[in-house]
Structure 1
């Protein structure tokens, strides 16, 4: 959690669980092969209703999501 131009927000970052397991096992070449094969299904940027904010999935399988904490109002410019 942190402040973004005033309002408090929550952020999440991670990586696809299957891709992460490959990295944990040290199977870097298999990780690269899968990322390359799936690159057309990523990147994607969408508003996730369940999360309550934007979610970005990058071509390498990494994910970044951000949302306002309950009770916060967007910053006024």
Structure 2
């Protein structure tokens, strides 16, 4: 899910979600134990850097597979 908002007049974009490959499907189908088991097994393969150059902002991947990323958007010309 992507949200755009203003923080002290600066436009900021936030992304939050869960790894799509299977993990989201487990949540959608209420297979919580399977979700937890697979999320735990994948932890070692998730990025550990707190900055993503392609996204151009901070990214956090939590142990449960959830992701939060923020970036400042360019100012709009009026």
Q: Distance in 2 between matches of 1:57 and 1:24?
A: 20
Partner of 1:66: 70
The aligned counterpart of 1:14 is 17
Higher helix proportion (structure 1 or 2): 2
Aligned-pair distance for 1:42? 5.1
| Structure 1: runs of 5+ lacking an equivalent | 73-77
2:5 aligns to what? 2
Count of residue pairs brought into register by the alignment: 72
Moved more, 41-50 or 4-13: 41-50
On the 8 A contact 1:12/1:65 being kept in 2, the answer is: yes
TM-score norm. by structure 1 comes to 0.75
Q: If the length of structure 2 is used for normalisation, what is the TM-score?
A: 0.75
In structure 2, the gaps of 5 or more residues are none
Shift of 1:68: 0.7
2:32 corresponds in structure 1 to 28
Provide the alpha-carbon RMSD of the alignment.
2.0
Q: Secondary structure at the match of 1:70?
A: coil
